Chains A and B, each alone.
Chain A
Amino acid sequence: QKEVEQDPGPLSVPEGAIVSLNCTYSNSAFQYFMWYRQYSRKGPELLMYTYSSGNKEDGRFTAQLNRASQYISLLIRDSKLSDSATYLCVVNQVTNAGKSTFGDGTTLTVKP
């Protein structure tokens, strides 16, 4: 079993839709949680991070962390064409934090 499991996708939604990208983790030692966005043929970029249970908002994006259920999600509101990308769920332990563990990614396509 992988330590980080993402909904496999791919997802296709119309512009303006609300999208939820989901991720579960199996190691309670993970303490820091990130979402990276990767456009086609590019390197990933940090989109959001969180370490406290609950919701964290940044514009149209909300990162949700539920430590009890070992579950994180990324909510995208009012989807735009530019949101079309692969979203990677990434987690860190406190020790050796640089060795992040990556989910397989969920590819999202937003259609006009």
Chain B
Amino acid sequence: DGGITQSPKYLFRKEGQNVTLSCEQNLNHDAMYWYRQDPGQGLRLIYYSQIVNDFQKGDIAEGYSVSREKKESFPLTVTSAQKNPTAFYLCASISRAPGRGPGSTEAFFGQGTRLTVV
């Protein structure tokens, strides 16, 4: 089955600890994105990568880091510098959708990781 897999589903972090969220895809997409979702809010972009070995900061990158050593994998590290990390984290791989119109894309999301600080 093609898809995008996030793990773990639930993660608990102690104060001052770094944690890494896994995101793997077998859709052969070049672009992968990390979003944060807080209750009652939309998705905010943390980091994104358009190609292997390259990534860019999104709107809320402070306190987070990523790597993109393989096309299939885009892990996100939540560092101790992120002061309010409790949230739902979503990873997506993005494909162009030719024939659907200008600017057309489709995002395929994982099932998310719920991170809680304890």
Residues in chain A near residue B88, CB distance under 8 A: 41
Residues in chain A near residue B2, CB distance under 8 A: none
Q: Please tell me if A32 contacts chain B, counting CB pairs below 8 Å.
A: yes
The interface size of chain B toward A, counting residues with CB under 8 Å, comes to: 32
A44 nearest CB across to chain B (Å): 5
Main secondary structure of the interface of B (DSSP, over half): strand
Which residue of chain B has its CB nearest to the CB of A98?
B94
Task: Determine which of B31, B90, B105 lies in contact with A43 in the assembled complex, contact meaning CB atoms within 8 Å.
Answer: B90
Residues in chain B near residue A104, CB distance under 8 A: 40-42
Q: Please tell me if B107 contacts chain A, counting CB pairs below 8 Å.
A: yes
Q: Give complex CA distance A41, B45 in Å.
A: 18
Q: Are B112 and A98 in contact (CB under 8 A)?
A: no
Residues in chain B near residue A97, CB distance under 8 A: 96, 103-105
Which residue of chain B has its CB nearest to the CB of A45?
B109
Q: Are B102 and A51 in contact (CB under 8 A)?
A: yes
Q: Give residues of chain B (84-111) contacting chain A, Cβ–Cβ below 8 Å.
A: 88, 90, 92, 94, 96-97, 100-107, 109-111
Q: Give residues of chain A (34-75) contacting chain B, Cβ–Cβ below 8 Å.
A: 36, 41-46, 49-52
Residues in chain B near residue A88, CB distance under 8 A: 42-43
The interface size of chain A toward B, counting residues with CB under 8 Å, comes to: 29
Q: Please tell me if A93 contacts chain B, counting CB pairs below 8 Å.
A: yes
Residues in chain B near residue A52, CB distance under 8 A: 101
Residues in chain B near residue A94, CB distance under 8 A: 102-103
Q: Are A44 and B104 in contact (CB under 8 A)?
A: no
Q: Please tell me if B64 contacts chain A, counting CB pairs below 8 Å.
A: no
8 residue pairs, one from A and one from B, having the closest CB atoms = A43-B109, A51-B101, A32-B103, A102-B42, A92-B103, A97-B103, A94-B103, A104-B42
Report 24 cross-chain contacts, Cβ distance below 8 Å, ordered by A residue.
A30-B103, A31-B102, A32-B101, A32-B103, A41-B111, A41-B112, A43-B6, A43-B92, A43-B111, A44-B43, A44-B90, A44-B107, A46-B106, A51-B103, A51-B104, A88-B42, A93-B103, A94-B103, A97-B96, A98-B50, A102-B35, A102-B44, A104-B42, A105-B40
* Chain A contacts to B: CB under 8 angstroms: 4, 6, 30-32, 36, 41-46, 49-52, 88, 92-95, 97-100, 102-105
